[in-house]
Chain A
Amino acid sequence: MATKLKPVDVVIVGAGWAGGIVAKELAPTGLRIVMLERGRPQATNPDFSGPQVHDSLKYARRHEMVQNVARETISFRNDPTQVALPMRQLGFFLPGTNVGGSGAHWSGLHWRWLEWEHKMYSGTIAKYGKSIVPEDMNLQDWPIDYHDLEPYYDKFEKVCGTSGKAGNIKGRKIVGGNVFEAPRQHEYPTPPMTSSQSMVMFEQATKNLGYHPFPVPASNCSQAYVNPDGVSLGQCHYCGHCTGFGCETNAKASPHFTMIPLAGKNPNFELRTNATVLKVNLDSSGKKATGVTYVDARGREVEQPADLVVLAAFLTGNVHLMLHSGIGKPYDYKSNTGVVGRNYAYQGGGGARVLVDKNTFMNPFMGSGALGMWIDDFNGDHYDFAKAGYIGGGGISAGQNSGDPLGYHPVPPGAPQWGAGWKKAMVETYQHTTGVGHQGAVMSYRQNFLDLDPTYRDAYGRPMLRLTFDWQPNELKLMAAHTAICERIAAEMSGRKDGGIVPGGRPSRGRFSSVPYQTTHNTGGAVFGDDPNTSALNKYCQSWDVPNVFVLGSCVIPQNAGRNPTGPVGALAFWAADAIRQKYLHSPGRLA
């Protein structure tokens, strides 16, 4: 039997960006807030101290900061005719754990999504009519638009000290920034990162081709910065140990040192680590949450009653908790009804490799998670969908993350992968190659969804979350087109007479594979919207069915875009926190 604790006002599940932002924003209320984090405590000092924090075997290969799949994982299948099987080791995505969550090990690409990316349905049919939308595509709008969110995007950038160059301030286009971006009120808090050689080459090549390159907005801090909350962020050292690692200089913004200590200024805030939430408890009506049950480090089940529950785990954790707890109607793909598990989308990718001559040097070990140059010329709705034959776009970029040989020791095509001649090929290539990559939007479909697995259970005895996902023709076409664009840019960058590129591949067998790491950018499963028949949450990210539950994170986003989701995740957490504080606490109940 679970030990029942004294009730509190608010329980927040998860100590990442979303949970951290809500906890910090609610701190002035003085409410009794308990934050439950399944992982351990984690702080820059001592957890991210050098030199150990640069241990690639530990962090990049063994994924020390990522969810332990021995305890919690998902099952996966490509389509509903298959039997889903457990993801037995980490694969295509890397959800964080410990205090800071994925926000402690992220790369720091910090985007505002484009206006169209907030209204993919209406924005698309306004131009092309309804007939362009395939029958199985559950294309839908956000319930709020970019302009509703702009102040919150701004706030999140200022928290993080995001480095970049604006391309559109109040409608004024600025060369060198992203001229395609939605109008912003303010410039980025800090100037762009310093370009690597690969970025200089990409910038020149894309200009030559008539595109509009700009530096990736990076929450890696190009210079020391004090944010509006008085939190100091250090200057990025371009140490090349960023994605998958904690940052020892606090240059990479993370909730563990920005939000959570500020939440702790509320004397009634308590962070409990090693606390894995198993379930949200509902009253007999099923319309009201009474709190949560979690398991602590001793294996004890603990019930924490609360008036308000905020789910701020990773997408898979949030959707799993909703399904397991009975919050909202589970999605049924056959009838296309129900909402929890609906509109899951992954993200596409690909690229081509650039080979340069022996007088060009990359210094690949100088890098940061978000160090890159990017073009949006093929992203959003900046081109003709009808002509292209697909809906959605993607960002195309080049940059440098890490040259640590554990993960990076390229050889030219046709060279040995081991044995005689291999070391020579590596030595001759290490400084003289780079790449161009793309990151593609993925639409949501009836047949791509999340539900509970009928067979497999996690370490806590709960049915696993089951993912059914495959590439659809729209996305396969998009990825093929963008790989070709990458190849064109790669050839322009190389300038070698022999072409100087290694062409990109296409997904093997045309199917999505859960095996290799691709990206952690998952969206949907508990989307927000204006219609309770097609969304699990209203525009304040509040459950339609259980109004004292709010759900935050990329699970609320109805389709994936060709850019990283952390910007909207943070902005939406500020947006929802505002609604909780200004509206909900005054009059608890459905806000929409």
Chain B
Amino acid sequence: MTDRQDDIQPGADRRTLLKLAGFGIGAAALPMAATAAGAQAPSPATAGDATAMPGMAMPVASPAHGPLPAGYVFLNPDEAAFVEAAVDTFIPADDYGPAGTELGVATFVDRQLDGGYGRGDRMYLLGPFQLGTPEQGYQLPLTPSELVRTGIADVNAHVKGRFGGSTFDALQPADRVTVLSELEHGKIALETVPTNTFFGVFFQLVMDGFFADPIYGGNKGKASWKMLGYPGVGEMYADKIEAYRNKPYRADPQSIQDLA
């Protein structure tokens, strides 16, 4: 038993329900869980952490290149390998689009961990520390970047013991799925950090990298927005909400940089 916080209600899912039914009101109901531990994700941080470099020519001739230069500023090579492998396991290439790393999601994760959010700049991180109850939430002395760094090492240690010395990134795709799924459901007890807390924070970061505005380095080419049919950040619907009622409204999505 490593987790005192296993039965926290999933945060991402709550947010989803709120958007639909909520008017900022609460929803104790969680019919569509997105992640087992999203609610544990340290959330407060300033944005704008990533260094946006609009208009800068990318040195890499790849369809994935976008506003952020390639390379990592926070992750060391072992961590980067883990993050890339995990990102592409969560977001694999399929008929609906490329793999997460092709869309800059690993870069997004790296820059977020290195920035204000990752450094816990808007978290209360003074002691004394104690575990508390699930209802009391995140009580670790770690910033999100410390948590993720420690959790990655924990996962790799677990994988090495279980898969003959291999690290996570060297696993076969099916084994990666198994490991991430077991982490999601709290079936692996990590050595240092609570499994669900690590998974919740890391998974949320990967999801945000897939869905956030491309200015932060992920979601290159607005891939996830195009996939879902989300028109982006510039649309005005006062003349459309009735005209398109019960009809799909489609538009080529616009991002912050498209409109800036």
A interface list, Cβ under 8 A from B: 50-52, 54-64, 66, 68-70, 73, 76-78, 82-92, 106-107, 109, 194-198, 200, 216, 235-241, 243, 347-353, 360-361, 363-366, 369-370, 372, 397-413, 417-420, 423-424, 426-427, 430-431, 433-439, 455-457, 479, 483, 486, 502-509, 511-521, 564
Contacts and interface: CB of A to CB of B under 8 A. Distances in A.
Nearest to B41: A89
Q: Which of B22, B24, B94, B258 has the most CB of A within 10 A?
A: B24
Interface of B: 7-12, 14-35, 39-40, 42-48, 89-92, 94-97, 117, 120-126, 128, 130, 132-139, 177, 180, 184, 203, 208, 211-213, 215-216, 224-225, 227-231, 233-238, 240-242, 244-249, 254-256, 258-260
A515 B15 CA distance: 12
B241 A397 contact: no
A365 B91 contact: no
Nearest to A251: B238
Given A55-B47, A78-B133, A437-B25, A366 B240 contact: yes
Contacts of A520: 24
B246 A366 contact: no
Given A200-B245, A235-B238, A437-B17, A413 B122 contact: no
B139 A85 contact: yes
B23 A413 contact: no
B19 A408 contact: yes
B23 A514 contact: no
B24 A76 contact: no
A51 B17 contact: no
9 contacts: A56-B213, A85-B130, A86-B126, A194-B242, A365-B230, A410-B16, A455-B128, A486-B21, A502-B31
Top 7 A-B pairs, shortest CB-CB distance: A349-B26, A504-B29, A437-B21, A518-B26, A58-B47, A435-B21, A502-B31
Contacts of A90: 43-44, 122
B156 to A, nearest CB: 20
Contact of A423 (B15, B32, B227): B227
B92 A353 contact: no
A106 B23 CA distance: 9
A352 B133 contact: no
B212 to A, nearest CB: 4
Which applies to chain B's interface (DSSP): helix, strand, loop or mixed? loop
Q: Which of A70, A243, A403, A418 has the most CB of B within 10 A?
A: A418
Nearest to B260: A51
A421 to B, nearest CB: 8
B18 A237 contact: no
Contacts of B135: 76, 78, 509, 511-515
Contact of B122 (A69, A194, A402, A456): A69
Contacts of B132: 83, 85
A55 to B, nearest CB: 6
B252 to A, nearest CB: 14
Given A400-B20, A409-B16, A515 B212 contact: no
A52 B215 CA distance: 10
Contact of B23 (A370, A403, A457): A370
